[in-house]
Amino acid sequence: MFISKLKQALICLKAGRVTLPYPYKPSPTPEGFRGKLKVDINKCIGCAGCANVCPPGAIEVIDFDKGWRRIQFHLTRCIYCGRCEEVCPEKAVKLTDEFELSTNTKEDLDLTIEIYMDTCQRCTRCFKPEHPLDKMMVTGFRE
Amino acid sequence: MLTAKEIIETLRTKFNNHIIKADEKVSNQVFVRVVPDTLVPLIRFLSKTLSPRFLINAGTDLVRQDGKYLVSYIFSFDSDKIFLCIEVAVDAAAPDIDSITPIIAGANWSERETRDLLGINLRNHPDPRRLVLADDWPQGLYPLRRDFPYDYKPPSEPQNKVHLKKPPEGTKVIPIGPFYPVLEEPAYFKLFVDGETVVDCDYRGFYNHRGIEKIGDTKLTYNQICFMAERICGICGFIHSTCYCEAVEQAAGIEVPLRAHYIRTIMLELERIHSHLLWLGIATHIIGFDTLLMQAWRIREPVMWLCEKISGNRKTYGMNLIGGVRRDIPHQMHDKIITVIEKIERETLEVIDAVMGDTSLHVRLKDVGILTEEVGRSICTVGPTARGSGIPIDSRVDHPYAAYDRINFEVAVESGCDIWARTLVRLKETMESIKIVKQCLLEMPDGPIMGEVMEEIPSGREAICCVEAPRGEAVHYVQTGQDNRPYRWRVRAPTYPNLQCIPNIIKGERIADVPIIIGSLDPCYSCTERMAVVDVKTGVEKLYTKEEIIKR
């Protein structure tokens, strides 16, 4: 009993203090950490592949006006699995190492992008024009 | 050793006229469809002769196909590595079925769950009270039927409340839970005590039944479910996602690359290491030995950091997809893993050395919470709870998945039947896990980590998979369906059978020992909606409803 307690005391003494000084000192994340996602609007082609695979349904696609598509990323629902990053054909979605996301306003955790999409003459569904100049040629373009 | 063919033959010789069909759909998984009247005689015959272990039953709504409900009783022949699934199709017009609980006590909860969720009435069930559904869920509304929309919110009917047992003559009631300081998760145990001794107890749980099976077969797709399966449990999430993926892969016949199997094995074992260390901390915290809580969790923390490095997150790894894993473990990571787990091995050995001779631990843990082998077998307990009672079952050996068929390790079995035995089993397993991780890193072949997955997984197939979680075995049963999602996905977490033995193992114990007895099962359950308050002076018990609590 006594020896056993002595051994336990030794373990504690040997370990010493292990508490990290976070948040007074930053705690870096390892490479490949899955944190808050970032979208590059210039790369996004509005294919909505990310919305299709998103397990919690955190990505919403709304075609709110003729030729305009709004993609909303609700980070309050996000589970940080990184499936959107994996399936994005243009590598527009990236998970960053940002993890300090607590906020008083819920809107801080909503990412919204709006893309002007062309309308296919056949199926009337949207697609993004190949070249930025092509956008200007389309009637109704107002960016 | 039995083979699948022999099992079918044995059943055919005895019940040939009553067997509609019997085949081995997936290798070592036998599916036998029988007529409803034969169910009880057949299961009685089975449990007397071949004595398989009951795992779970699952109800499926096939009304649209042939106007029937299908109830599948899944058994395991542990030493023969075979699953047996006895299926009964019940007419939807009169969904009545004979209960098998009088023969197999461990079927109690799962039969009641099928009744609650699918509306299959049970004849001769010893305890037909409501189990899973909320207290105010309307009568006659069954959420797992296909015509029930997944997002429907039914009106509240508080009169359907479940009435817990009345205390026996001469006993008092002590409520443990729904929120109890030392059991981190809520469940309600109503203890009947005579002085200091517990005479009996009643249990009400499932307060936060989340309906994931429903959302899995109506809303999500095959690959989305992997991530939800991971969130079934906060500690053994990867086990559930592996179990689900393996079940789908077996059903669809998807070939998974060997490297992916090894990566799964490594992650599963890392999870076991940190879960057992976490349990050691919590268990000693329950008995007031907080020094070990601090040290066990300190030792555990590097595993979490290691998992964060490998997968990108410390707990929900998100690594599994149907067909393989998403992230590789590169060669330069191997040394890091070895360094971390060797440090853990060293420190865990130090801790084991220090606590083995601690007599105050012996006093609290030895000969407390006795679960005899007989009771353990009848209630079909699993994992360290069973192995601490001398029942040598471990699905890593019995039903090898991932890369376990290529790995040598010992199954820790103790015959003490008490909490100390369960502790020893867990400590030994931690050391074994460290060995397994090392072996995997040595033997892991190069190659792809994601297999070829067909465009569409064929519908109408079924498969069962067992994965050994730290607390026992998780069972997933999948029937593939159309629209890129399973038709039925049944999950059984390891605490489900283990928790059913609580009334047996706390009988005759002292009140002060009840928390550690419950804690020794490493239970894992969810949230609450009402509480019991006992007036100390008058002994009158008053139950506060949800509405009353909100009003206060």
Q: Which of A10, A81, A83 to mutate to test the interface with B (most CBs of B within 10 A)?
A: A81
pLDDT score at B166: 85
Q: How far apart are CA B470 and CA B449, in angstroms?
A: 25
Query: For residue A56, which residues of chain B lie inside 8 Å, CB to CB?
Result: 227
Q: Which of B212, B218, B224 to mutate to test the interface with A (most CBs of A within 10 A)?
A: B224
Judged by a CB distance cut-off of 8 A, whether residue B291 touches chain A is yes
CATH architecture of B4-163: 2-Layer Sandwich (3.30)
Q: Do A79 and B360 touch (CB under 8 A)?
A: no
The answer to whether B120 and B114 are in contact (CB under 8 A) is yes
The answer to whether B369 and B505 are in contact (CB under 8 A) is yes
pLDDT score at B546: 57
For B200, half-sphere exposure in the C-beta direction (CA atoms, 13 angstrom radius) is 9
The answer to whether B172 and B155 are in contact (CB under 8 A) is no
Top pLDDT among A67 and B63 is at B63
Q: Do A82 and B312 touch (CB under 8 A)?
A: yes
pLDDT score at A46: 86
Query: For residue A18, which residues of chain B lie inside 8 Å, CB to CB?
Result: 298, 301
pLDDT score at A139: 52
Query: For residue B351, which residues of chain A lie inside 8 Å, CB to CB?
Result: 11
Locate the domains of chain B by residue range: 4-163, 212-493
pLDDT score at B184: 66
Q: Do B227 and A12 touch (CB under 8 A)?
A: no
Q: Which residue, chain included where needed, has tokens 């649209």?
A: B64
The answer, yes or no, to whether ipTM is higher than 0.90 is no
Mean pLDDT of A14-18: 90
Q: How far apart are CA B314 and CA B318, in angstroms?
A: 10
Q: Do B354 and A32 touch (CB under 8 A)?
A: no
- Tell me which residues of chain B have a pLDDT lower than 70: 181-184, 525-552
Q: Do B309 and A31 touch (CB under 8 A)?
A: yes
Q: Do B355 and A4 touch (CB under 8 A)?
A: yes
Q: Is B496 helix (H, G, I), strand (E, B) or coil?
A: helix
Q: Do A32 and B298 touch (CB under 8 A)?
A: no
pLDDT score at B518: 86
Q: Do A7 and B318 touch (CB under 8 A)?
A: no
Contact pairs from chain A to chain B, CB under 8 Å: 73
The answer to whether B464 and B27 are in contact (CB under 8 A) is no
Q: How far apart are CA B355 and CA B368, in angstroms?
A: 18
Q: Is B480 buried (19+), middle (13-18) or exposed (0-12) by CB count in 10 A? A: buried
Judged by a CB distance cut-off of 8 A, whether residue A77 touches chain B is no
Question: Which residues sit opposite B21 in a β-bridge?
Answer: B33
- Phi and psi at B108, nearest 5°, equal -50, -60
Q: How far apart are CA B301 and CA A27, in angstroms?
A: 15
Query: For residue A2, which residues of chain B lie inside 8 Å, CB to CB?
Result: none
Query: For residue A86, which residues of chain B lie inside 8 Å, CB to CB?
Result: 326
Give pLDDT tens digits for B408-422: 999 999 999 999 999
CATH architecture of B212-493: Orthogonal Bundle (1.10)
Q: Over 80: is that where the pLDDT of A84 sits?
A: yes
pLDDT score at B549: 56
Q: How many Cβ atoms sit within 10 Å of the Cβ of residue B315?
A: 15
Residue of B227, B309, B356 with shortest CB distance to A81: B227
Helix axes B419-443, B258-286, angle to 10 degrees: 150
Q: Do B318 and A81 touch (CB under 8 A)?
A: yes
Q: Is B16 buried (19+), middle (13-18) or exposed (0-12) by CB count in 10 A? A: exposed
pLDDT score at B532: 37
Stated pTM of the model: 0.91
Query: For residue A55, which residues of chain B lie inside 8 Å, CB to CB?
Result: 220, 224-228
Query: For residue B305, which residues of chain A lie inside 8 Å, CB to CB?
Result: 30
Q: Do B309 and A32 touch (CB under 8 A)?
A: yes
pLDDT score at B537: 46
Q: Do B224 and A34 touch (CB under 8 A)?
A: no
Query: For residue B301, which residues of chain A lie inside 8 Å, CB to CB?
Result: 18
Q: Do A79 and B227 touch (CB under 8 A)?
A: yes
Q: How confident is the model at residue A138 (pLDDT cuts 50, 70, 90)?
A: low
Q: How confident is the model at residue A47 (pLDDT cuts 50, 70, 90)?
A: confident
Q: Is the peptide bond before B178 cis (omega within 30 degrees of 0)?
A: yes
